[in-house]
Amino acid sequence: MVMEYNIDEKGYYGEFGGAYIPEMLYPNVEELRQNYLKVMADPSFKEEFDQLLKDYVGRPSPLYLAKRLSEKYNTKIYLKREDLNHTGAHKVNNTIGQILMAQRLGKKRIIAETGAGQHGVATATVCALMGMECIVYMGEIDIARQAPNVARMKMLGAKVVPALSGSRTLKDATNEAIRDWINNPVDTHYIIGSVVGPHPYPDMVARFQAVVSEEMQWQLQEKEGRSTPDYVVACVGGGSNAAGAFYHYLEDTNVKLIAVEAAGKGIHSGESAATSVLGKEGIIHGSKTLLMQTNDGQITEPYSISAGLDYPGVGPMHAHLYKTGRAEFISITDDEAMTAGLRLSKLEGIIPAIETSHSLAILDQKNFKPDDVVIINLSGRGDKDLQNYIDYFKL
Ligand SMILES: *Cc1c(COP(=O)(O)O)cnc(C)c1O
């Protein structure tokens, strides 16, 4: 089969991807590039990865037929319950994979960057599991805004280092992590939290998250007698939960893919994270992709009520899915997402992460047929967002 939508051997999705990195980072990235597929193909790696996903993360995550939601929208809606994973979201699928990769490459020390703290917590969790040193870079502003996650990381034994430069948020934390990696090329692995960064990261993270659509295939076969749905819907920050949910359906164009971005206070309000609409081609974190930037190429500060969608770019896979039209991109505002999150809570007894609420909100915009099978990737649970829901709805 010709792979039109997955990565090519040079590390590109169409025109997007690659590894645009400073020379000093080249040995680290090259070591990973030369080894990641070999390591992942090793039966002992696969066995340990699968075992941990089962016994530690709690996989497979259920594919749940949401009856009352389906009734309301007059179509058949399944929810892929990534919210039931240990640590409450899909992110741990990737951090488990990467820590095993780091061990196979002989690394002793783990670094990561985090914005809202969710990826930092998922990384600190697997470092505790494996007894490895963990340093998480986080913007000083984010440390102040995300105190519970900072406490979690500390409790798990990680060292949280504030990034004091620039806007003191995610992109500055990323710069600090890259600086650390350049200074510690031999013993350190950098765990990136989404399908972003230089090749091979987008592909490696997508492969670790691909367990999501791998399970969907056999779960749907059991429930519907066919392994392919009509639609798969997922929200996109960097794009890792969407990459995992789309992965095994990428080349099957009978399965329609819907990627949901955060429009914040409105696409053209100046406070948004709708990268596909507002972004232009450029290079961010070592990858050629779509990103929000000023006319002279400076990265614009994104905004969304959900911290996990508040990223100025998308991974190269998603830039390609957008450019080719393989996925439909829909932007959802803060208000639309919050309403959808409350609705799922009341209709199904599931409080979703606000990121996930964006995916749910498309049900008000798209008309599905009664016999369509629609899978929505429920990327995370809403406990972390409770204060936001309380403030918004005056609960
Ligand atoms: C981090 C996060 C996201 C966004 O990240 P992706 O890499 O785009 O998946 C979405 N949902 C939840 C629950 C998250 O924690």
Per-residue pLDDT of 230-282, as tens digits, reads: 999 999 999 999 999 999 999 999 999 999 999 999 999 999 999 999 999 99
Query: One-letter amino acid identity for 231?
Result: Y
Mean pLDDT of the chain: 96
Residue 145 or 176, more confident: 176
**Residue 1: partners with Cβ closer than 8 Å, 6 or more residues away:** 251
Whether the Cβ atoms of residue 239 and residue 195 lie closer than 8 Å to each other:
yes
List the structure tokens of 364: 């008000």
For the chain, percent of residues with pLDDT exceeding 90: 91
CA 48 – ligand 1 centroid, Å: 25
| Pocket residues: Cβ below 6 A from ligand 1 | 89, 91, 118, 194, 235-241, 308-309, 353, 355-356, 379-380
The closest-lying atom of ligand 1 relative to the alpha carbon of residue 209 is: 9
Under the banding of pLDDT at 50, 70 and 90, the label for residue 299 is confident
Tens-digit pLDDT profile for residues 58-68: 999 999 999 99
pLDDT computed for residue 344 by the predictor = 98
- Round to whole Å and give the CA distance between 395 and 380: 21
Which residue's CA is the nearest one to ligand 1's atom 3? 308
pLDDT computed for residue 177 by the predictor = 96
Q: Which of 45, 65, 60, 53 is nearest to 93 (CA)?
A: 53
Cα-Cα-Cα-Cα dihedral sign, residues 177, 182, 183, 184: positive
Under the banding of pLDDT at 50, 70 and 90, the label for residue 169 is confident
CA 21 – ligand 1 centroid, Å: 25
pLDDT computed for residue 239 by the predictor = 97
SS3 263: strand
- Round to whole Å and give the CA distance between 40 and 274: 33
| Continuous H helices in 62-134 | 67-73, 91-104, 118-130
Which residue's CA is the nearest one to ligand 1's atom 10? 355
Which residue among 113, 246, 309 is best mutated to probe the pocket of ligand 1, counting the most ligand atoms within 8 A of its Cβ? 309
Whether the Cβ atoms of residue 88 and residue 116 lie closer than 8 Å to each other:
no
The yes-or-no verdict on residue 2 having pLDDT over 80 is: no
CA 157 – ligand 1 centroid, Å: 23
Please name every residue paired with 138 in a beta bridge, in sequence order, or none if there are none.
114, 162
* Residues catalogued as catalytic: 91, 113, 379
The closest-lying atom of ligand 1 relative to the alpha carbon of residue 119 is: 1
Which residue among 91, 208, 321 is best mutated to probe the pocket of ligand 1, counting the most ligand atoms within 8 A of its Cβ? 91
Domains of the chain: 23-52+91-205 (3.40.50.1100), 58-89+209-393 (3.40.50.1100)
For the chain, percent of residues with pLDDT exceeding 70: 99
**Residue 94: partners with Cβ closer than 8 Å, 6 or more residues away:** 122, 191, 193, 194, 205, 208, 209, 240
Whether the Cβ atoms of residue 272 and residue 263 lie closer than 8 Å to each other:
yes
The alpha carbon torsion through 114, 124, 98, 279 (nearest 10 deg) reads -10
**What is the 8-class DSSP label of residue 295?**
T
Rounded average pLDDT over 313-324: 97
CA 308 – ligand 1 centroid, Å: 5
Which residue's CA is the nearest one to ligand 1's atom 2? 308
Which of 4-13, 42-51, 210-219, 300-309 shows the lowest per-residue confidence on average (mean pLDDT)?
A: 300-309
- Round to whole Å and give the CA distance between 225 and 202: 32
**Other C-beta atoms within 10 Å of 73: how many?**
18
Q: b or e along 18-36 (b: 16 or more beta carbons within 10 Å of the residue's beta carbon)? A: bbebeeebeebbeebbeeb
Does 200 sit behind a cis peptide bond, omega within 30 degrees of 0 on the bond before it?
Answer: yes
pLDDT computed for residue 196 by the predictor = 97
List the structure tokens of 313: 């770019």
Which residue among 152, 191, 195, 240 is best mutated to probe the pocket of ligand 1, counting the most ligand atoms within 8 A of its Cβ? 240
* pTM summary value: 0.98
CA 1 – ligand 1 centroid, Å: 30
The pair phi, psi for residue 134, each rounded to 5°, is: -135, 125
CA 355 – ligand 1 centroid, Å: 6
**What does DSSP say about strands 188-191 and 373-378: parallel, antiparallel, or unpaired?**
unpaired
pLDDT computed for residue 301 by the predictor = 85
The yes-or-no verdict on residue 167 having pLDDT over 90 is: no
SS3 62: coil
Rounded average pLDDT over 340-363: 98
The yes-or-no verdict on residue 364 having pLDDT over 90 is: yes
Tens-digit pLDDT profile for residues 7-40: 999 999 999 999 999 999 999 999 999 999 999 9
Which stretches does DSSP call E strand in 54-174? Answer: 63-65, 76-81, 109-114, 133-139, 159-163
pLDDT computed for residue 136 by the predictor = 98
